[in-house]
Chain A
Amino acid sequence: MKKIGMKSIVTAFIMSIILAGCGGSSGDSASNYPEESVKIIVPFAAGGGATTTARTISEYAEDHVGESLVIENREGGGGSAGQQYVASADNDGYTLLLITGSAVTNPIFNKTSFTYEDFEPVIQLVSDVSYLYVNADAPYDDLESFAEYAKDNPGEVTISTSGAQASDHYAALEIIEELGLDAEAIPYDGESQAIASTSGGHDEATIGNFAAAEGQVQSGNLKPLVVLGDEQTDVYPDVPTSIEEGLEVTEASWRGIAAPKGTPSEIIEHLHEAFKKGFDDEDYQNQMSDLGMDTEYKGPEDFQDRVVEYYERMSQATE
């Protein structure tokens, strides 16, 4: 019996040594950064525009960062679970956030233990305008008849959104309020579920961007009603803007990379340069445009300004 016990211990010991050998050593000084792989937390379920943004930029920025970039989806609570995780992570540059508007809105609407000020913006990558899509079989083709339909059928119309505290959910609520509809906004677990539900005719409308919804437009399940912005887009040249239609609701999802507050400025600078190089790569730009995402660069300071501006707009919206 003793002998058998020894065998177990020896096997365990050998295995631990082999496996320990696989890991690298870790240092903590900013000057040696990075010495191990860098995690980018995407605070939403896999399969949406945020995940795609993170994966695409990682592909092109990885070589410039100097270590592998690992994308991790930590969904829950409309993004606040993953944002909370990054806000409380070590500010050593090894845990980053794929930051979206929800990192600003979640603290406004919920009792989160973080605010948007807990993140240091590194770079803005995308500013993606959203559209109001409706089921392709619906009897309305423009915003006016949609609003009419909703008024004739009170309580019938539902708008699917990507999450309870996502900015598209607030845009849906704003649309309902502006147009004076008796309708509901229903949160799903990520935009692909929200889009699938409206494509299947279970909800009447959805708010989404081109990249996420175009597949269903091609399959003949969805049609775009309005651009939620002030400029018409190349992809849908016939679709009017919400401003033209007299609807004062705009929705563009900006996405970028942020680090926890207090991350050393050398690390922010290193990351910003690396991501900028990836951003300027022609292949990256082409791939993003194939994906239907509008790239828009902002450096750390400009990006910070945009975040603050968004905070001001959204905190007014709730008053």
Chain B
Amino acid sequence: MQMWFEAIVNVFSFSILITILFGTIFGILMGSLPGLSSTMAVAIIIPFTFSMEPAAGIILLSSIYCASVFGGSISAILLNTPGTPAGAATVIDGYELTKQGKSGKALGISAVASGLGGVISAIILSFTAPILAEQALRFGAPEYFALAIFGISVVSSLGGINPIKGLIAGTFGILIATVGMDPIDGYPRFTFGSPFLATGFSLIPVLIGLFSASQAFHLIKKSEKGKETKDSEDVKGQVLPSIKEVTKILPNIFRSSIIGTFIGIIPGIGGDPAAFISYNEAKRWSKHPERFGKGELGGVAAPEAANNAVTGGALIPLLTLGIPGNTVTAILIGGLLIHGLRPGPMLFQEHGDVVYSLFFSLIITNLLFLIIGVSCAKYFSTILKVPAQIMGPIILILSIVGSFAIHNDYFDIWVMLAFGIIGYIFKLINVPVTPIVLAIILAPIAEQSLRQSLLQGDNFAYIITRPIAFVFLLLAVITFFTPFVRDYLRNRKIKSS
């Protein structure tokens, strides 16, 4: 309890509140622009948190994360284009409401649902994470190995329709991760004698390249073609939802938040499936399922509550075990490490103050964008009018400055640009970049813990016979092969018909 009081005192300082406010506004802006994802918004700001206090830095990053997920619904509702992938399900009823001239109401509901979803998941996070952190000591090397493999196994389902594409990207990521010194003997691999590569590729320049620079290249290319993005309509109708409307969708919001939080905990899945699953559940539970898809408020509330609830859920494995749940949390690890905060069971003991301040600030952030969302919705359409030819260069320059700022190394800029080009090419040929990141983060954990396990137990049976490790490895096998089985079944169906 004392931790909570300290956290409240910390968070209610002027500098932290300003940080949260800035993060929230920046997050809404970045999230609302189509093509600029939450991952990118967080990656680009990390280098600027370097000189901040640890708590302030991590609070800034997480408030950007939460607010950008809400921001994604703005363009989904007004433009029929989700600002972040997690906003895809919001398009269905959100844009329908816009066509009916009720865009204000849709934005209002989205703000309320997102805010409440985020708050609910932040509360679940703050009560379960400390308990889970105590249990985290049960995780020895074999369990970390199994969990890392489980996380990596998701790559096959990230390839969209084609699991092979996810696999290609994942393998590429594992190869990148082998560069640098090996974790047990310290033998340098693929460094070509370069001291810059002795520690492997720096994570953050790689991430900025893959997510930010590649997107900047796309935007610049788009503006070259002279293809203007379609103009947003002005926000119409009343924004503030009535008490009656809110109470009607409260059960829906609550259910979707729980779904979102739990999906967030599972490594690798993320916001978009959570939003779709909650949308379908809301439809199934509704007394009027036929109204979904025709401008139903519940159809906006469900995916928005769910995708914001994912934020709290994804932080659970990150903070307790150091295993990221999705790309944004993978980047957050980088943000924690530069402040000397190593996620894992010891984090709660050594830096409880930071962790609890983070929990409390998440609640504040979610309430803050709820308020901003409801009160400023009228101006959101203006954001969407920023042309691509302005956004592209700004993002590119921020990417360059950001990569340099981390180590003050020119080499990192080249790394960032190289991975920007790789990300750009991958997007052109429709190969997802998320598996690369998952593999870069998880492969070293898998390698080191496998070798530690084999020192502890001499053979692979030692790992398999440990229950937690066995369950995760089994889940990994199922997760990995499901898309292939699904593919096979679908092909057979097509053939037989």
Contacts and interface: CB of A to CB of B under 8 A. Distances in A.
Interface size class of B (residues with CB under 8 A): 35 or more
A184 interface: yes
A221 B138 CA distance: 11
Contact of B139 (A45, A200, A216): A200
A85 B180 CA distance: 13
A195 B452 CA distance: 14
B401 interface: yes
Contact of B181 (A5, A45, A55, A81): A81
A313 interface: no
Interface in A183-223: 184, 186-190, 192-193, 195-197, 199-203, 215-216, 219, 221
A8 B223 contact: yes
A202 B456 contact: yes
A77 B337 contact: no
A16 interface: yes
Nearest to B135: A200
B337 A4 contact: no
A188 B198 CA distance: 18
Given A165-B186, A186-B456, A75 B199 contact: yes
A19 B396 CA distance: 13
Contact of B137 (A52, A88, A199): A199
A84 interface: yes
Interface stretch (B304-312, B343-351, B431-439, B474-482): B343-351
B224 interface: yes
A76 interface: yes
A76 B199 contact: yes
Given A16-B397, A73-B340, A192-B342, A85 B195 contact: yes
B67 interface: no
Contacts of B184: 164, 187
B452 A186 contact: yes
Interface string B5-48: 00000000000000000000000000000000000000000000
Interface in B369-404: 387, 389-390, 392-394, 396-398, 401
Contacts of A216: 349
A111 B294 CA distance: 69
B232 interface: no
A184 B184 CA distance: 13
Interface residues of A, number: 60
Contacts of B220: 8
Contacts of A16: 397
Contacts of A11: 389-390, 393-394
Contacts of A88: 195
Given A7-B389, A39-B408, A158-B455, A47 B349 contact: no
Contact of A196 (B224, B341, B346, B448): B346
A186 B226 CA distance: 60
B172 interface: no
Contact of B199 (A7, A15, A74, A192): A74
Given A19-B401, A78-B186, A192-B342, A200 B137 contact: yes
A158 B183 CA distance: 18
Contacts of B389: 4-5, 7-8, 11
Given A164-B185, A164-B186, A192-B344, A155 B141 contact: no
Interface string A65-87: 00010111111111011101100
Contact of B223 (A4, A193, A215): A4
Contacts of B456: 158, 184, 186, 202-203
Interface string B396-420: 1110010000011000000000000
A230 B337 CA distance: 36
B339 A70 contact: no
Nearest to B143: A202
A68 B51 contact: yes
Contact of A215 (B340, B349, B408, B455): B349
Contacts of A7: 387, 389-390
Contacts of B223: 4, 8
22 contacts: A4-B223, A11-B389, A11-B393, A15-B393, A16-B397, A46-B338, A46-B339, A68-B51, A73-B340, A74-B407, A76-B181, A80-B181, A84-B195, A165-B186, A184-B456, A186-B452, A186-B456, A192-B344, A195-B346, A196-B137, A200-B140, A215-B350
Interface of B: 50-51, 136-142, 180-186, 188, 195, 198-200, 220, 223-224, 226, 336-342, 344-346, 349-350, 387, 389-390, 392-394, 396-398, 401, 407-408, 448, 452, 455-456, 458
